[in-house]
Amino acid sequence: MSLRMWSGKPYRSKQRVLLETKLDRIEVIRIDEKGIIKPPGEGSILAVMGQKLCVLEGVNADRYAQADGFKDWNEMREWFKAEHGLPFEGVALYWQNDPSSATGPATPPERKEDSR
């Protein structure tokens, strides 16, 4: 997968490559005032017990938010509250080459130009 953005006017400017990678998995998430609700990780004790949801709060919510480019959980919650309203339901994309994929979504590497 190649994630790109226009460097200027759409369709009339070069594209910048944000990330070239393979998608590892997609998770449905819900963000509310208390935390981030998502399915438990494969092989985790919650998954083995048949639990359907995992609630990330406190330090775990901070790690998840930081992996997505926020300073901490409070900043992430306030951004989603202002931009989308809470509760927010959406998807988190995890990339195959992302070392933070165990805790949260990928943060794109340094951007590079593409002549396409």
Q: pLDDT tens digit string along 31-45? A: 989 888 887 666 555
Q: Helix (H, G, I), strand (E, B), or coil: what is residue 24?
A: strand
- What is the total count of domains within the chain? 1
pTM for this prediction: 0.61
Q: Look at residue 32 and tell me if it is in a domain.
A: yes
**pLDDT of 116:** 45
Q: Helix (H, G, I), strand (E, B), or coil: what is residue 67?
A: helix
Sign for the pseudo-dihedral over CA of 7, 11, 13, 19: positive
pLDDT over 50 at 114, yes or no = no
Domain limits for position 100 = 25-107
Q: Look at residue 30 and tell me if it is in a domain.
A: yes
pLDDT over 90 at 50, yes or no = no
Q: Look at residue 18 and tell me if it is in a domain.
A: no
Segment 23-32 mean pLDDT: 86
**pLDDT of 112:** 42
The tokens of 112 are what?
Answer: 């590079």
pLDDT over 90 at 76, yes or no = yes
In whole angstroms, how far apart are CA 22 and each of 30, 32, 100, 101, 104? Answer: 24, 29, 15, 12, 16
pLDDT over 90 at 82, yes or no = yes
In whole angstroms, how far apart are CA 19 and each of 1, 27, 34, 71, 74? Answer: 8, 19, 31, 21, 27
Q: Write down the mean pLDDT value for the chain.
A: 78
Q: Look at residue 11 and tell me if it is in a domain.
A: no
Q: Look at residue 5 and tell me if it is in a domain.
A: no
